[in-house]
Copies of this chain bind each other. A is one copy, B any other.
Amino acid sequence: MADIENRLYAMRHSAAHVLATAVKHLHPEVKLGVGPVVENGFYYDFDLGDVVLSEDDLPKIEAEMAKIISANQQFVKDIVSLDEAVKWAHENNQPYKLELLNDLKRSGTTDVKDIDSDVLGTENGGSSAVDTVSFYTNGDFKDLCRGPHVESTGEVGPFKLMRVSGAYWRGNEKNKQLQRVYGLAYETKDELDNYLKAAEQAKMYDHRKLGQELDLFVISPLVGSGLPLFTPRGTVLRQELSRFSEEMRARVGCEFVWTPHIAKQELYETSGHWAKFGDEWLTVTSKETKDRLVMKPMSCPHHQQIYGSRKRSYRDLPIKYMETATVYRDEKAGELLGLSRVRSITQDDTHIFCTPDQINEVIGSLVDITKEFYSLLGLEVRARLSLRDNNGAYLGDKDLWDKAQTILKSIADEKQLNYFVAEGEAAFYGPKIDFMATDALGRELQLATPQLDFVQPERFGLSYTDQDGSEKTPVMVHFAMLGSIERFLSAYIEHVMGKFPVWLAPEQIRIVTLNQTEAIKQYASEVLKKAKEKGLRAIVDNDNESVGKKVRQAEVMKVPYCIVIGPKEVETTKVAPRVRQDLTDKKDIIAIDIDRFLDLVQKEYTNRAVKSSL
């Protein structure tokens, strides 16, 4: 808990005590669990016997908390011996605190399994011998607690209780289920309101909700959880995004390769991944061969096999492979969620083999395309240079490390990245640049990572013949622009709230007919044909419904352009497109010729324009 010293932490911790105080006022028989600080707020676990709390009870508890806060009770700290504390727990009929204290006594250190030390009354963080504990008292409420707290309850900031849920004591399902009351707490009202607004929005624009409404993907119980199926509309998103990433990488010289989705375990034993991560992978059983197979969790060793299949010369380098490949991980069923946590992960994977002298050019070009790629997606990237420190066990030649780290820094400066240096964050096999961005909902997204690798090429015995005729080991660069397409989409759908730019939109133009006369239907299908010939994604809505209803339907599907075809449009060959609000600042779009309209949209598509040109 790095933040334990800061004021917000103390406010949230104090809010948890105020919550417990309020619950004890309302239910004097309550047995207390623990009440730690969590992201955005705090919670406290209670055993209330037969009393079952619901969200309807929260306003009453909040009112009681407000009273305690306005009473401005001092938080007073006492340090007592462990035995005294045990006595207190007995006398006050607090079996959960008693259990924690007895555990503390038994272990003789502050390391009590399953419980953060800050909700124990032990003075020291870390693992050390203990014989005293501390209590904090406010008004008539006393709790075993390490602190810190604010001076008095009046200093607890704006808060809001959010929900009640069941929680097993110490997270163990064999234990009794307690009732967890969870609340938000911030230093200022504005911060609390902003968070509430963002959370409300996140709920409304949850990608799972939008995925269903916009017909993007399907989770089928027969196929399995964490294995989304992409509909035609969702597949457009996948393909447009990966095509964009592919185009950018082709521009810097990457060539496609293709590798299968399974491999012998031996491949990953050689790469060293099996020993570290094998537990997290899906294994494959063949009845016909004795091969021990795994579903590939990454494509690097496959690509190394391609590199290693021929003799390579310094003149061939850099060799740049790319593959939009689906890899598989054995995620816990309970953690699978929409597209953000899946078992089938599609990566826009890239592996570059180069000489040490080429690191600058290789990484520099990856930084360039990453900046351009994300700026077009409306995300401003920051970067972290993850370098080695003096403690870690790093593999590979120290001089090469130093040289590479110097190059990374000079690239970051030269390319004017918004970056910071994080020593000790390098992987054991090489330094890297981590790109990240903040989305419209204020969440931090992990984006592209060019990662140097001084170890794997040697493990696979890869080499190239240098100018002097000697055999050398190439440096490897791992890179993915989108990372996981599924995870990126889960964030991006929410970031744009389902309103995709024209180039990404699964449906770019909705052609709505005013009525069902032959002339109008015929003209609408002509327009559709023209649009398709220009490579545009368009649909005709010929349904026997009112124009108003059909236009609204296009709005619901967040289609960028909607045109209505009536007798006037047939006669003049002009249309007055309705443009999705976020794409334009204009109030009215004047009628333009249909061919001109289609040309303009085609140009927006090709240029991946962010705004409408109408």
Contacts and interface: CB of A to CB of B under 8 A. Distances in A.
Interface stretch (A225-233, A369-377, A446-454): A225-233
Contacts of A261: 261, 295, 326, 328, 344
Nearest to A287: B330
Contacts of A344: 260-262
Interface string A252-289: 00011111111110110010000000010011111111
B220 A309 contact: yes
Given A258-B229, A543-B315, A282 B289 contact: no
Most buried by B among A224, A228, A295, A302: A224
A549 B325 CA distance: 38
A202 interface: no
B282 A283 contact: no
B286 A285 contact: no
A103 interface: no
A266 B236 CA distance: 29
Given A222-B264, A267-B222, A305-B218, A258 B283 contact: no
A230 B257 contact: yes
A587 interface: no
Nearest to A267: B222
Interface string A309-321: 1100001000001
A542 B314 CA distance: 13
Contact of A285 (B282, B302, B343): B282
A257 B231 contact: yes
Interface string A330-344: 111100000000011
A238 interface: yes
A154 interface: no
A258 B230 contact: yes
Interface in A179-236: 215, 218, 220, 222-225, 227-232, 234-236
A471 interface: no
A305 B229 contact: yes
Contacts of A321: 232
Contacts of A282: 262, 284-286, 293
Contact of A295 (B220, B229, B284, B301): B284
A239 B250 CA distance: 15
A291 interface: yes
A284 to B, nearest CB: 5
A71 interface: no
Given A224-B263, A282-B293, A257 B229 contact: yes
A340 to B, nearest CB: 16
A232 B323 CA distance: 10
Contacts of A4: none
Given A293-B282, A295-B284, A543-B315, A262 B305 contact: no
Contacts of A400: none
Contacts of A258: 229-230, 234-235, 238
A260 B222 contact: no
Contact of A224 (B220, B234, B264, B295): B264
Given A228-B260, A229-B257, A232-B257, 10 more contacts: A220-B267, A220-B309, A223-B259, A223-B263, A223-B305, A229-B309, A231-B309, A238-B258, A260-B343, A284-B285
14 contacts: A220-B309, A227-B262, A229-B306, A230-B257, A230-B258, A232-B256, A232-B321, A235-B256, A235-B257, A261-B326, A282-B286, A282-B293, A288-B333, A289-B332
In order of increasing CB-CB distance, the 7 nearest A-B pairs are A260-B344, A232-B255, A230-B258, A220-B305, A218-B309, A289-B333, A222-B267
Interface of A: 215, 218, 220, 222-225, 227-232, 234-236, 238-239, 255-264, 266-267, 270, 279, 282-289, 291, 293, 295, 301-302, 305-306, 309-310, 315, 321, 326, 328, 330-333, 343-344, 542-543
